[in-house]
Amino acid sequence: MTDACDLCEAAIVTTRYLDNDLCWIGDCEICVVPMVVWRTHSPSPPDELKNQMLGLLVMVANEVLGEDNWKIDDHMRNIPGHYHAHARPPFSLHRAQG
């Protein structure tokens, strides 16, 4: 854990869907869509772990956003030093809800 990393802190401030030793999935505080966060402070998980985390995100996103109604976005804009990925609905759907 890094003191200055909000993702390492893992404070529950939004809906939390899953929490285990590998990762947690909750709604992103900024964009309010499901987001998976690796528990290790690093931007580059091994492929096997990344695939496990994304598989869990798929299950949650299908339930929350509807099957095939979203895409994985793992471009880490705001916190580039800690791996996380969002399940984003198409832009037009996201704008209509927000």
For residue range 5-55, what is the model confidence (pLDDT) as tens digits?
Answer: 889 988 888 999 999 999 999 999 998 999 999 999 999 999 999 999 999
Q: How far apart are CA 28 and CA 57, in angstroms?
A: 13
Cα 39 to Cα 4, 10, 24, 55, 62, distances in angstroms:
15, 9, 7, 16, 22
Per-residue confidence at 94, pLDDT binned at 50, 70, 90?
A: very low
